[in-house]
Amino acid sequence: MTSDVKKSLKGRGDFLFEIGCEEIPAGMIVKACRELKALLEKYFVANALLDEGSAASSIETFGAPRRLTAIVKNVRLKQEDVVREITGPPKAVAYDAVGEPTRAAMSFAEKQGMAVSKLSIIMTPKGEYLAAKQEVSGKPAAQILAGVLPQVIQEISWPRSMYWTGLGKQRFIRPIRWIVALLDGKVVPFAFADVVSGAHTEGHRFLGSSKIALSGPQDYEPKLKKNFVLCRPAARSKKIETEIAAITKKHAVKVHHDEHLLEMVTYLNEYPSVIIGDFDPAYLALPDEILLTVMRDHQKYFGLESKGGELAPHFLAVINLPSDPKGLVREGHERVLRARFADAQFFWETDQRTRLGDQLPKLKAVTYESRLGSYGDKVERIRALARWLAEQWFSAGVSQADVAGSDRAAELAKCDLVTEMVREFTELQGVVGGLYARAQGEPDEIAWAVYDHYKPVGLDDPLPRNLTGCAVALADKLDSLVAFFAVGAVPTGSSDPFALRRAAQGIVKIILERKLPMSLSAAISAAAKALKEHAPKIEATEAVQKQVLNFLLERAKFLLREKGGFAYDEINAAFAAGADDLVDAADRVAAVKAIRNMKNFVPLAASFKRIRNILEKSAGGSERDHATVSAELLWEPAEKELHAAAQRIGEVARAKKKNRKYREALEAVSELRPAIDAFFDKVLVMVEDKNVRANRIALLGNLLKEFSTVADFSELGGEESRPA
Amino acid sequence: MKKVKVKHAKPAPKLKGLSFQDLLLTLEQYWTERDCILQQPYDIEVGAGTMHPETFLRVLGPQPYRVVYAQPSRRPADGRYGENPNRLYKHTQLQVIMKPAPADVQDLYLRSLEAVGINLKEHDIRFEEDNWESPTLGAWGIGWQVLLDGQEITQFTYFQQSGGQDLDPISVEITYGLDRIASYLQGVDNVFDVRWSDKVTYREVRLAEEQQFSAYSFDFADAGSIRKQFDLAEAEAARLLQLFAGLKSPAAKKGFPILQAYDFTLKCSNFFNLLDARGAISVTERAAMIGRVRKLATRVASAWLEQRADAGAKVAGPTSAAQVEGQVRA
């Protein structure tokens, strides 16, 4: 260590902070640790206990079910002494002619709590001034932290916190039962919610000591480990993964990898171990989806597959113990799973007594949303819309579009909501309906459509596997969107309780990825029609429909950016030329991207921007759309040439566009560049002669209009404006 | 798909385990030794031990209280005619209320498990997030379900609100599922195989009830009649609450039968559950009926507090903004 570093570390020490808590919900620990780190950084820097540049790297936070921990390295044990210099009145004002202090000087001295004789004169750029120099001695870090740490604890935010010592007292996610706060080996004394900070932590609830003396960060991890707590999540997940690998190897099975479940069990246990359990292979006759949901979602078990990829009659449970020597835990978990599977089997058999379609009348009694009627009402709307969509596609040449099939699938789609199985396993809605439809002899196309109709759930979730499924999925989501917007339940930046953003994302994803030929505004208006014609007969006004359209277009832009890799301005340019047919708009976005780097294009875009500016500055623009160019008023060669070029190139571009060869259309447009450049070089638009001026503006106006039908080039290269 | 044929391989029970009645007696004994008074189950149909006035009303106001009682709890929709090994029309809860919640209440609870023969070092016991809420009672709390080797055996809740009232102090509620714990301790897959005593099984004691009450709930209940009974009970509760609201003198309020108004509220809740199980409630009606019961429950809670305050009991602090908000929400 160099002497400099030694010197800089002198007067510094490490800080250990642990909030000991009753079991914190597993899904909240990661975020809480992130916040704890940010809060400590904020307060340590604000109080000069850490330097701003190095604070982030000095603080480490991590958590386990019963503790949130922070280790802060090289904390300044005492704030540095600082000399504060406060400038007072100018010297000329502070002293009179004979050098005696004036009233101004005395009042300044009084304000600073100093004798006038102790004041000094300093030189500033504005001249000589009276000044008070005071040495402020830094406070000990422990004293500062005692004040700051309760604040830190209180400021960690939770989805839903609680009182436990009484109404109006401190809140936290669960009751805090101990606090460790050790700075340089000494306790930082404070209290939070009746808990006094100290130097003792608790080990594993059943296997460790409930009073472990600590001296600081150095013995924290090893002492907890001895007491069956792996305090670092990485150590826990590694132990889990290692044990899973060993067990699966031994039993010649594969685990269904599940990152989410792994994180969950990492934060559910302080000393995780993996055990294998078995279930009766007869249950494998139940669909895999149901077995896996029971194991994974309800019991937090990993499902196992044979080498052939089929579900195997075993499971892995992660337990909060080092081992299960007597097999008691295994036996318990097996019994629970047996009961769960027996339930599922009972539900399956009960549900099979009623045909899926015969559940339909019951949907009348299931509320969709208080203002939007029952699921029975929604199904009627979805059916109408699914039929309409299939008809549209069919007449646009999509031969496999099946109107009757879409209607049937929409009719069955929500019937599983009243089955025993979905009442118990709500996350299997759709899936269960699809499985039942197939078991009851519906054609595959319809069964899969029911199965898939909630898809896609996220950006990376696959689409419904067949076109009928796409029709039902679109109809379902469009109805939700239009219906909720119609009753004013529009999502805001922070609140989207009906997951409408996700619904809209699903709609545009299906249309774009499946390349469905359809008009968005017509689809919205069809949804509005269904909403008006079926109970509870709600009107979605033109304004609402417009709002829905814009909402969908925003999601389409988002999707093209995130998944398509297109730039803001490319999307904006193409969308400005129309986006009602999303697939067509996306083709134009791709064309813009393809040609934007050609040599003529950037200058051409700049010229179009210039044209737009000229048009905006002139007459306000309303007459330019209608003005025709009079050839006899064109007299400069450059403007004649531009007019001719526009007509010539326009014809080519129009033909290309008609055949949806957008790239070629744009390439043709780019050939305008020499004519436009020459025009701007040689011709003045804003001339005195009114008629000539109007004619030139008309020429430019027509040019902009004619050549912006594929994309509006004036949008290109602009500032990236993020949508609100 | 193939019909599932499962052999219920019954592993030789390694734990003989307490009988159902010994489990009940042991837990009651355990908690009475920790200053809980032993109360009796409520004598009106309830869906959960929380609805017993010993919980719903006792958690209100500032007076400390500790109580333990068993509460047979009726959930008509969960009835399975006694044919399902795990689902019951009526299950038995053991309810513990500690007000205020002691700091070592988790440990107290865990030691109760030891008292019934569960070695904590040999089993996987965990507290998993599960916040409890009862829309009909305007009550909610923060807590967990306790899992024993993957089986939920207890609901553990720090009450935050009851009857729409913010609570101060905070009570803890521990609700044991006795049927499940007994199955677990005795190592049986079917609750009807549980030994109630050493000589009598759960089946012998309870099967007829499960069969008949399930049959009534699903097949025989007359929705029209039950709806009328709901309306009558609601009207009587509302009449009493209205009368109470009109009283001026503390003396008159003191002996006023608020508890009877609460009993009628519980009746409403049970009639609602029956109608729900019968599938007789329409879309708009469902939410509305829950709202009607909640309205009675919250009025009972505030009348009860008022009555206690006028009777000289100290009421917790001035009404805070949170309290007002809580009442509005309710």
| Structure tokens belonging to residue B154 | 């207890």
- Name the nearest CA neighbour of A614 among A679, A710, A709, A706: A679
- Name the nearest CA neighbour of A491 among A557, A562, A547, A568: A547
The confidence score (pLDDT) of residue B16 equals: 76
Best residue in B16, B83, B110, B124 for a mutation probing chain A (most A CBs within 10 Å):
B124
Mean pLDDT, chain A, whole residue set: 91
* Shortest Cα distance, chain B CAs vs residue A269, angstroms: 8
CB contact under 8 A, B149 and A343: no
- Name the nearest CA neighbour of A380 among A534, A238, A272, A539: A534
Q: Which residues, including other chains, have CB under 8 Å from residue A429's CB and lie 6 or more apart?
A: A416, A417, A422, A454
Chain A residue with CA closest to B103: the answer is A177
CB contact under 8 A, A335 and B187: yes
Phi then psi for residue A286, to 5 deg, are -70, 150
The confidence score (pLDDT) of residue A492 equals: 87
Q: Which residues, including other chains, have CB under 8 Å from residue A298's CB and lie 6 or more apart?
A: A340, A425
With contacts defined as CB-CB under 8 Å, which chain A residues touch B1?
285-287, 435, 439
pLDDT digits (tens, 9 = 90+) for A263-306: 999 999 999 999 999 999 999 999 999 999 999 988 999 999 99
Distance CA B159, CA B168 (A): 10
Distance CA A98, CA A130 (A): 16
The residue written with tokens 């798909």 in the block is B1
Q: Would strands A311-319 and A302-305 be described as parallel, antiparallel, or unpaired?
A: antiparallel
What separation in angstroms does the CA of A629 have from each of A620, A688, B7?
18, 18, 89
Neighbouring-strand partners of residue A133: A85
Domains and CATH numbers, chain A: 3-79+140-226 (no CATH), 82-136 (no CATH), 233-352 (no CATH), 370-413+427-564 (no CATH), 586-715 (1.10.730.10)
pLDDT along chain B (330 residues), means of 10: 54 69 98 98 97 97 97 94 90 98 97 96 95 93 96 96 95 97 92 95 97 94 94 98 93 93 98 88 73 96 89 43 37
pLDDT digits (tens, 9 = 90+) for A215-267: 999 999 999 999 999 999 999 999 999 999 999 999 999 998 889 999 999 99
The confidence score (pLDDT) of residue A8 equals: 55
pLDDT digits (tens, 9 = 90+) for A536-569: 999 999 999 999 999 999 999 999 999 999 999 9
Distance CA A28, CA A18 (A): 16
| Structure tokens belonging to residue A646 | 């526009």
CB contact under 8 A, B124 and A163: no
- Name the nearest CA neighbour of A596 among A677, A675, A713: A713
pTM of the model: 0.80
The confidence score (pLDDT) of residue A714 equals: 80
Q: Which residues, including other chains, have CB under 8 Å from residue A440's CB and lie 6 or more apart?
A: A352, A355, A356
With contacts defined as CB-CB under 8 Å, which chain A residues touch B124?
317, 319-321, 324, 329, 332-333
Residue A153 has pLDDT above 90, yes or no: yes
The residue written with tokens 């789609």 in the block is A413
Nearest to B9 among A27, A280, A324 (CB): A280
* In contact, A77 and A12? CB cutoff 8 Å: yes
Nearest to A332 among B9, B123, B131 (CB): B123
DSSP 8-state class, residue B219? I
| Structure tokens belonging to residue A2 | 């160099």
The confidence score (pLDDT) of residue A598 equals: 84
* In contact, A328 and A277? CB cutoff 8 Å: no
CB contact under 8 A, A342 and B168: no
Q: Compute, in degrees rounded to 10, the torsion defined by CA atoms B165, B170, B171, B175.
A: 90
Nearest to A162 among B84, B150, B160 (CB): B160
Nearest to A167 among B150, B284, B320 (CB): B320
- Name the nearest CA neighbour of B223 among B269, B288, B282, B280: B280
Neighbouring-strand partners of residue A134: A84
Sign of the dihedral through C-alpha A170, A174, A178, A183 = negative
Phi then psi for residue B318, to 5 deg, are -70, 155
Chain A residue with CA closest to B285: the answer is A365
Distance CA B316, CA B307 (A): 14
The confidence score (pLDDT) of residue B9 equals: 52
Nearest to A339 among B5, B110, B189 (CB): B189
pLDDT digits (tens, 9 = 90+) for A412-451: 999 999 998 998 888 899 999 999 999 999 999 999 999 9
Over residues A483-508, the mean pLDDT reads 92
Confidence grade of residue A3 (pLDDT, cut at 50, 70, 90): very low
- Name the nearest CA neighbour of B163 among B140, B144, B130, B132: B140
Nearest to B149 among A164, A333, A346 (CB): A333
Instruction: Output A718 or A637, whichever has higher pLDDT.
Output: A637
* Shortest Cα distance, chain A CAs vs residue B55, angstroms: 17
Q: Is B71 left (phi over 0), alpha (psi -120 to 50) or beta?
A: beta
DSSP state letters, A459-521: TTSPPPSSHHHHHHHHHHHHHHHHHHHHTT----SS--TT-HHHHHHHHHHHHHHHT----HH
Chain B residue with CA closest to A371: the answer is B284
* Shortest Cα distance, chain B CAs vs residue A454, angstroms: 23
CB contact under 8 A, B168 and A23: no
Tell me the H-state helices in chain B: 20-32, 53-56, 105-115, 178-186, 202-215, 223-246, 250-254, 258-277, 283-310, 321-329
What separation in angstroms does the CA of A34 have from each of A71, A85, A311?
13, 38, 38
With contacts defined as CB-CB under 8 Å, which chain A residues touch B131?
160
Q: What single-letter amino acid sits at A366?
A: V
| Structure tokens belonging to residue A415 | 């019937």
Nearest to B2 among A285, A342, A370 (CB): A285
Distance CA B225, CA A214 (A): 68
The confidence score (pLDDT) of residue A119 equals: 86
DSSP 8-state class, residue A541? -
Distance CA B267, CA B46 (A): 8
Distance CA B148, CA B126 (A): 7
| Structure tokens belonging to residue A675 | 């004519």
Neighbouring-strand partners of residue B90: B74
Distance CA A666, CA A573 (A): 12
In three-state secondary structure terms, B321 is: helix
What separation in angstroms does the CA of A447 have from each of A352, A466, A474?
15, 10, 16
pLDDT digits (tens, 9 = 90+) for A665-696: 988 888 888 999 999 999 888 888 888 888 88
Q: Which residues, including other chains, have CB under 8 Å from residue A515's CB and lie 6 or more apart?
A: A583
* Shortest Cα distance, chain B CAs vs residue A137, angstroms: 41
* Shortest Cα distance, chain A CAs vs residue B218, angstroms: 14
Over residues A329-333, the mean pLDDT reads 95
Helices (H) and strands (E) in chain A, counts: 27, 20
Neighbouring-strand partners of residue B93: B71, B177
CB contact under 8 A, B166 and A167: yes
* In contact, B92 and B179? CB cutoff 8 Å: yes
With contacts defined as CB-CB under 8 Å, which chain A residues touch B323?
167
Nearest to B150 among A164, A165, A332 (CB): A332
The confidence score (pLDDT) of residue A426 equals: 86
Domains and CATH numbers, chain B: 20-217 (3.30.930.10), 222-329 (1.20.58.180)
Distance CA A692, CA A686 (A): 9
* Shortest Cα distance, chain B CAs vs residue A81, angstroms: 43
Angle, in degrees to the nearest 10, between helices A467-486 and A520-533: 70
Distance CA B212, CA A119 (A): 96
pLDDT digits (tens, 9 = 90+) for A392-407: 999 999 999 999 999 9
Over residues A100-122, the mean pLDDT reads 87
Element housing A598 (H / E): none
CB contact under 8 A, B149 and A332: yes
Q: Would strands A186-187 and A176-183 be described as parallel, antiparallel, or unpaired?
A: antiparallel
